[in-house]
Structure 1
């Protein structure tokens, strides 16, 4: 039986002014620890110390809710886990699996995670016959019970919203794909490239 090791790295934000830059001491220690494990990848800094803590925390938009979703029954099973698995190879006809969306200067990762998973599942369930990009903006802007838009949201509420209300289609920024494409521009988060640099302040949540 193959073994799968999941390492969950939880970082604790120290109380203080949210406008002060992120301290490098904790970050450097965490990077050194990860790299000391000698895994298949190397950790490094994505942002320099000039980025405000409020902005970086804002990009980590996923939030946890204590109830009622936390009371769902736990499910456990023993599975044969392969040495490696690549979803792009398992379902090569599903283009959404290969696509990497850019949330821009908005803490919408919670919305992106949900709509990308939904898009992939629709394609997988239809054996590649239905290729759809579910709109991140529609979820981000219109789900009033999901949280605070670009300031963060609850993934479990987003799944519930899709189940009970539904979501329209919508592609990347300026893609003109679907009913409601993403309106926040893509940007370079921590390197110099062909895109404009990201703002150091979170954008306003688009209107529904």
Structure 2
């Protein structure tokens, strides 16, 4: 994106595309000095000036572009699957192993619903992979945002453990049946009642009790998952699970410089350390890890990384994906990682042959 735009007004303040305010009580989400500092430094990644973030404050970026609430301690400390000593390849991409079965990055807009988007994305991939391509649903984040309301906050944030509980007990329909309509922060999920409830129709199959909100789609079948399981925080265990069973979901802390990530292997930088505190913000996000790899740095060292799908659209990062340092718990991305299996019966498999 370019560096200039008409200013956006907040009270007595204006914010333009170069990240400058004419007053000091707010920090822009896009900060030209931060972008320049990252690109001048030797940090291993490049920053970009994204026009779709122009006019937003950093606080608004944290409030509207993330949206995952950390699970309570009892969930954060649930039993982990044990580590492995298995030899694993230096590079892996789930979309290469399972072509056509891994969803492309989604776009949550200004709905703080990463909890629903990452859950729907991982569940979609796992059902497609587990059914060996007989079922390839792109599940509906909106179904979770509008209907998974018990102790959840829709487009104001939610917990992934509650989302997986809902997928196991209730299930969700496809995105084509129940499309995303809460793209802007002002529309949120307030005033958008749940339009889909599920019921069993025998033989383990569930269908929604209502027709699809999208009248062009007639299949209101409900998809469910097994209970989610937590992986060890060891990179080898996460890699083994990813290679054998498909993409996994991870919680991470997003800092102010992550919003301007364009390419390379991300690590949180100290470029804003000398600025006032309101220029340094972070919040909790959830993403889908789809692969890993490594690169040689100019200093001759090996930099290992994860490949992850964000939910900020394909115009952000590396086509909607980002790479982040692996094996160092960068931004806490290895602290809480979960997998799940889609609930797929032999009847499902036969019915779709």
| TM-score of the superposed pair, with normalisation by structure 2 | 0.41
SS in 2 for 1:68: helix
Find 2:166's aligned residue among 156, 161, 165.
161
Give 3-state SS (helix, strand or coil) of 1:151's partner. coil
Correspondence for 1:204 among 188, 210, 218: 188
Distance 1:51 1:85, change over 3 A: same
Question: Equivalent residue for 1:28?
Answer: 34
Q: Could you tell me how far 1:109 is from its partner in structure 2?
A: 1.3
Cα distance, 1:49 vs structure 2: 6.4
Of 67, 70, 94, 1:87 maps to 94
Residue of structure 2 equivalent to 1:174 = none
Task: For 2:40 and 2:55, locate their aligned partners in 1 and report how far apart those are by CA, in whole Å.
Answer: 23
Partner SS, residue 42 of structure 1: strand
The answer to whether the Cα contact below 8 Å between 1:146 and 1:155 also exists between their aligned partners in 2 is: no
Q: CA deviation at 1:23?
A: 7.0
2:180 to 177, 182, 188: 182
Query: How much does 1:111 deviate?
Result: 0.3
1:117 aligns with 2:103: no
Unaligned ranges ≥5, structure 1? 1-18, 172-176, 186-198
SS in 2 for 1:147: coil
Match of 2:83 in 1: 77
- Aligned-pair Cα RMSD in Å: 3.0
Offset of 1:168 from its aligned partner?
1.8
The structure that is strand-richer by fraction is 2
Q: Give per-residue Cα distances to partners, 1:78-131, cap 9 Å, x unaligned.
A: 24231111111110131xx24222212211111010011001000000111111
- Larger-gyration structure (1/2): 2
Q: Is the 8 A contact 2:124 2:139 kept in 1?
A: yes
The 1:31/1:113 distance shift into structure 2, 3 A limit, reads farther
Aligned residues: 165
Change in 2 beyond 3 A, CA 1:69/1:34: farther
- For the structure 1 residues 49 and 75, does the alpha-carbon distance in structure 2 shift closer, same or farther, using more than 3 Å as the test? same
Question: CA separation in 1, counterparts of 2:117 and 2:37?
Answer: 26
Instruction: Give secondary structure in 1 for the equivalent of 2:124.
Output: helix
- Distance, in Å, in 1 between the alignment partners of 2:40 and 2:81 is 30
Unaligned runs of 5+ in 2: 1-24, 195-353
In 1, Cα distance between equivalents of 2:118 and 2:100: 20
Rounded to whole Å, the distance in 2 between the matches of 1:165 and 1:119 is 15
TM-score, normalisation: structure 1:
0.67
More helix by share: 1
